[in-house]
Amino acid sequence: MKATLNDLLNYDYTITDFTSARINEKHSSYNDYSMKGRYKNLLLYLINGAMDYFSPNGEKIFSVATGDILFIADKSNYISATTTKNAAMSGIVVCFNLKNCTNELIEITNSFCLFAGDHEKILHKKFSTLSAKILENQCLLSIKSTFFDLLYSLLTNKKISQAQAKELLPALEFIELHPEKSVSIKELAKMCQMSESSFSHKFTKYTNGMTPIRFRNRIRIMKAEEMANDTNLSVEEIAEMLGFYDASYLCRYYKQCTGKTLKTAKN
């Protein structure tokens, strides 16, 4: 039986064969499903880092960044790798099968579905709860209830199609790789070969309402936290590398965004 992800909002079905894992790769990650295809449906919540996804012939399809959620259907053929060589990444993975009322496997026709930007970390909490229940082998009814709640939250939010993600890829990659550089909307739109109005509309839709400036600042804050935790750089050095006016401004802005104080190994 075949169905789209959206069909699951109205179908009578059940979930079986749950597995979950917490990913914590310190150097890099590479997965090749180009020949055999993946086994079981997958939901990934990327906690930290960035991943690129490629078709079996090596064409880049889209990228997944911190806070993004990705669905990959059973039997999908693809290759995935960390965006930057030897870069760390972490996430939560939940794998499962879907069956209809006659116990027939449901084949999801959306090979990929990217849900962008869990900025409030509401879905992160749901992912963590679901993963913990699976790993602790808790009551199946409780696991299913949490899964249905998570899936409903995902499917009733606006999804980003593979085509939309690919259209914006040049601008998204530039911002993620060069967050210290202040680039105008005109320049970003030119990278994507769009008009400014079309780019702005598609970008805010992709990021659930975030402007390019807010998106860039989100990346800068995440990178500041990562550099503070994983390097011996001072706050002054981090501020300079990420394009902040000075260390005081970085600390104030970080506190405003996260409610926490930016601490480094040199504090």
CA atoms within 13 Å, Cβ hemisphere of 125: 6
Residues 197 and 219 reside in one and the same domain: yes
**Contact 202/165 with Cβ under 8 angstroms?**
no
Report how far residue 51's alpha carbon sits from residue 75's, in angstroms, rounded to the nearest whole number: 20
Report how far residue 124's alpha carbon sits from residue 48's, in angstroms, rounded to the nearest whole number: 12
Verdict on whether the full-model pTM lies above 0.85:
no
pLDDT over 80 (residue 205): no
Instruction: Give the pLDDT confidence of 60-97 residue by residue, as tens digits.
Output: 888 888 888 999 999 999 999 887 776 778 899 999 99
Residues 7 and 138 reside in one and the same domain: yes
Domain limit, last residue, from 100, 127, 155: 155
Residues 22 and 151 reside in one and the same domain: yes
Domain that holds residue 98: 2-155
Q: Does residue 74 lie within any of the structural domains?
A: yes
Number of domains in the chain: 2
Q: Which two tokens stand for residue 87?
A: 């870069």
| pLDDT the model gives residue 159 | 47
Single-letter amino acid code for the residue at 100: N
Domain limit, last residue, from 122, 155, 188: 155
Instruction: Give the pLDDT confidence of 4-56 residue by residue, as tens digits.
Output: 888 888 888 888 999 999 988 777 778 899 998 899 999 999 998 888 898 88
Q: Does residue 122 lie within any of the structural domains?
A: yes
Residues 230 and 250 reside in one and the same domain: yes
Q: 3-state class of 117 per DSSP? A: coil
Report how far residue 210's alpha carbon sits from residue 206's, in angstroms, rounded to the nearest whole number: 8
Q: Does residue 263 lie within any of the structural domains?
A: no
Residues 194 and 126 reside in one and the same domain: no
Domain limit, last residue, from 126, 155, 184: 155
- Provide the CATH number for the domain around residue 19: 2.60.120.280
| pLDDT the model gives residue 19 | 95
Report how far residue 10's alpha carbon sits from residue 97's, in angstroms, rounded to the nearest whole number: 17
Residues 146 and 220 reside in one and the same domain: no
Residues 124 and 201 reside in one and the same domain: no
Single-letter amino acid code for the residue at 87: A
Q: 3-state class of 225 per DSSP? A: helix
The fraction of the chain above a pLDDT of 90, given in percent, is: 24
Which residues have CB under 8 Å from 31's CB, separation 6+? 79, 80, 81
Instruction: Give the pLDDT confidence of 106-119 residue by residue, as tens digits.
Output: 999 888 888 867 76
